[in-house]
Every structure is written in structure tokens, then in C-alpha cells.
Amino acid sequence: MNFTNVNVNKMCKITYRCRDSMKVVQVKVPEFLSERDVKVAAAIEAFSRGSVSVGKAAEIAEISIQEFLLELRRRGIPAYPYTDKEASKELKL
């Protein structure tokens, strides 16, 4: 796909709560991306960096936790960074 002549004039606003205040981020995005696509991508990026939890990422994306987990699965991103052995040890099973 060639992005050389892509129009990036479309603005997308992402609003989320951080501690006790609301944060608003506005970004210019290509016309072909939906607002949902941008919000999900931002949430996945924040989650992947370890900046936010699954619940907070779902809130940023404005989707349910179940939908967010499905988005992670579709992209091959682990929702929880534990192997079965590590999880068992952590839970003392």
C-alpha cells in the first residue's frame, strides 16, 4: 500500500481519564482510518508498552474489555505476559 499521497487532515479526538483528570489527545489521521481504528490502535500501543491495564485500554478504545481482548488476540498480542508455568507459580497452584 502506498501512503505517499494520503490525506491526513482528518482529526481524531481520544479522551480518557488519568488519575483524577480527563486527558484529551487530538491527532491527525489518514481519511481511510475510522475513529474506532485510531482509538483501538492507541489503546493497544499504550497497553503493549505497559502504560495502562487491560481495563484502562478498553476504556481508551471505548469498547468493552471482552472486545479489547479480542482485538489483542486478532493481532497476536498476549493479554497477560505470563506463561502457564509462571501463572501457576504466581497463583501458587
Query: pTM of the full predicted structure?
Result: 0.66
3-state secondary structure of 85: helix
Compute the distance between CA of residue 53 and CA of residue 47 in angstroms, rounded to an integer. Answer: 6
- Structure confidence at residue 54 (pLDDT): 92
Residues 24-62: pLDDT tens digits?
Answer: 777 777 778 888 888 898 899 889 888 889 999 999 899
Q: Write down all domains in the chain, each with its CATH number in brackets.
A: 10-91 (1.10.10)
Angle at 56 between CA 48 and CA 77, to 5 degrees: 30
